[in-house]
Amino acid sequence: MRKLITTFAILIAVLVAGMSALVLLVNPNDFKHYMVQKVKKRSGYQLTLKGDLRWHVWPRLSILSGPISLTAPGASQPAVTADNMRLDVELLPLLSHQLHVSKVLVMHAVIQAIPDAAAKTAPAGPIAPDDKNAFSSSLGHWSLDIARVSVANSLLIWQDPQGEQLNFRDVDLSLHQDASRVGQYRLSTVLTRNQQTFSIDFEGQMDARHYPYKLAFSVDRGNYQLQGVSLPEQGVKGKTTFTAQWSPLSSAFDLTNFTLHANDSDFSGEASGTLAPALQLKLNLQSQNANFDQLLLPSQPRLQSQSTDQQNTTDDTTDITRARTPVIAEKNNRGFIDWLNQSEISSQLTANQATWHDVTIKGLEVDMHNAMGVMNLNTLSGKVDNGQFTIQGKVDFRPELATVALHTQLQRIPLQIVQPLLQIPPVLRGDISLQGDFTGQGLRGKEILTQWQGHSSVELMGLDLPQMNVQQMVIDAVTRASNRVNSDPNLHPVIPDMRGDFTLADGNLQLTRLAGENAQVSLNALGNINFTQHQLDITFNLLTRGWKGDPGMIALLANQPIPLRFYGPWNHLQYSLSVDRLLKNNLKSRLQQWLKDNDKAKHSSS
């Protein structure tokens, strides 16, 4: 044991003596010119080392520098600046005139990926390949090898093709590559923009053998988080993996084997495109579950609960206006709109299940193409409950309010879903089918009703008015007006399925035709709904069956529609049902007819 300890002590002494001798005999400033020339030869960049280089022997043998800068050929600003740099070198290679740098560490650097810091090369000037055998004789017999590069606590300034600069703070990059420029990396950084913070922590493989023509890399483990205004309260966070290729000379990229988990949503697929001069992006994604409520909708305080079902129509209307307003697109989300106006994007998305404004959509399919703010919606379709929808058309995001021209098909979509989305009181139950063409401005529910115009056929199925029973109102009015008839107590009239047409213009929906019948009721309706003033004026004409009593009265009720009119503001709705007048007018008509028939009979007999 004593001999082993003695042996280790001798080795340590030799090592300390060797390092001390090296510090005394080798001047690190002898490497300065060599490193500058080597960087110049291999990359064309100009390395500037200010101040003297000095040795640092603990905890590892290193060369420390003063302020440094790295400038691209022809650039007016340096691409990299830092207060200092540390080169970890190996001792034994120095004895054979080899500067083996095991690691380069730069802290508190400023990296500028902006046009002023980019290389200025001749348009047709080729990039010479590396020549590992040729170097200036002034470099002596030294050779350089770097295995690891680390950048810590630094700032990356990147300018997008539209000229806006983004600051990536707290940049930590660790790169380990072999002699063929294949290796591993780890990158973490934080981006703050428009009161939103985006942070990433990626690690994976990198292949720079063909750089600058092509850079291939993969993200084998990627964590990210997005927080801030206009986002869900918990933000958007998750994991991602993909394989990518980047062509710096053409700004083109290609992503394959792409997976993304965002909150409780998942996506997979491929993406490709270019970043300059304008963003061009092609997406093809699939999803098992896409919860857009957890990805897109900002959190808003709810001032009143929607849990009670005993509220009347007035309460329902107030509750809708106070709760989170359903929208198709945020009106003030100009950052996203400006991004669309400066991009060309083709996207295809299929999702087994999607959630949007608490609506579950099965089999969602989206196929759209955006060209500088003009979006052609080739397909937007899906299934909701037992119904389905298909929307096609064009949306122009360039004006302050987006302009739309859409062909819409709905088949058996529940009214309980449609009414909240359009911000109208939930007074009806049932399903709606429609097919029509609409144009207008805006994508919010209120804008759809007040600034769109168009014509559509419509069908209402399983219709019910929870706040009132139209048929019972008529039956009660008839039995109060006359004791000659009464209704069958075992008969429970149901509103028939109704078909018709409507037009929408200037916030006014005009029912041009709406009618239906079943074994108990024949019903038609005419009138209009004013969404701007929140008023309506609709008259329902009902023929009810199943009466018992006087045959003449039964015949009258079977052939004379009874009008029931609803009118006034939504929150103070009124109605009129004039059965007495109808019966009196009919009795007068029958009396006049009897007198005419009697008079004819007298004349014929004479």
What was the pLDDT predicted at 186?
94
Within-domain flag for 441: yes
Within-domain flag for 131: no
What was the pLDDT predicted at 136?
36
Domain enclosing residue 535, as ranges: 468-606
Is the domain of 341 the same as that of 394?
yes
Is the domain of 337 the same as that of 449?
yes
Task: Give pLDDT < 70 ranges for the chain.
Answer: 1-26, 91-99, 121-146, 161-162, 298-335, 466-467, 482, 488-493, 580-606
Within-domain flag for 297: no
CA torsion, ordered 468, 470, 476, 480, to nearest 10 deg: 110
Query: Which one of 240, 258, 276 terminates a domain?
Result: 258
Is the domain of 439 the same as that of 513?
no
Is the domain of 108 the same as that of 241?
yes
Is the domain of 525 the same as that of 457?
no
Within-domain flag for 47: yes
What was the pLDDT predicted at 5?
60
Is the domain of 494 the same as that of 550?
yes
Inter-residue contact 262 to 288 (CB < 8 Å): no
Please name the helix (run of DSSP H) or strand (run of DSSP E) that holds residue 469, with its range, or none: none
One DSSP character per residue, 122-190 reads -TTPPPPPP-SS---GGGTT-EEEE-EEEEEEEEEEEE-TTS-EEEEEEEEEEEEE-TTSEEEEEEEEE
Within-domain flag for 240: yes
Query: Which one of 258, 274, 291 terminates a domain?
Result: 258
- Indicate the burial class of 133 (C-beta count within 10 angstroms; 0-12, 13-18, 19 or more): exposed
Within-domain flag for 283: no
Phi then psi for residue 577, to 5 deg, are -145, 95
Distance CA 29, CA 55 (A): 10
Q: Give the position of tokens 């998305």.
A: 349
Q: Give the position of tokens 């490497």.
A: 31
Query: Which one of 465, 490, 513 terminates a domain?
Result: 465
* pLDDT tens-digit series, residues 390-445: 999 999 998 888 899 999 999 999 998 888 888 887 778 899 999 999 999 998 88
Is the domain of 368 the same as that of 348?
yes
Inter-residue contact 205 to 188 (CB < 8 Å): no
One DSSP character per residue, 406-450 reads EEEEEEEEEHHHHHHHTT-----EEEEEEEEEEEEE--BHHHHHH
Per the structure, the count of domains in the chain is 3
CA torsion, ordered 229, 232, 234, 236, to nearest 10 deg: -90
Is the domain of 101 the same as that of 215?
yes
Within-domain flag for 305: no
Phi then psi for residue 101, to 5 deg, are -90, 110
Q: Give the position of tokens 């290679």.
A: 93
Is the domain of 415 the same as that of 480?
no
* pLDDT tens-digit series, residues 194-206: 788 999 999 999 9
* pLDDT tens-digit series, residues 560-586: 788 888 889 988 888 887 776 666 555
What was the pLDDT predicted at 590?
52
Within-domain flag for 278: no
What was the pLDDT predicted at 456?
94
Is the domain of 420 the same as that of 501?
no
Is the domain of 75 the same as that of 173?
yes
Is the domain of 456 the same as that of 498?
no
Whole-prediction pTM value?
0.75
> Where does 237-386 have alpha helices with state H?
313-322, 334-341
What was the pLDDT predicted at 141?
39
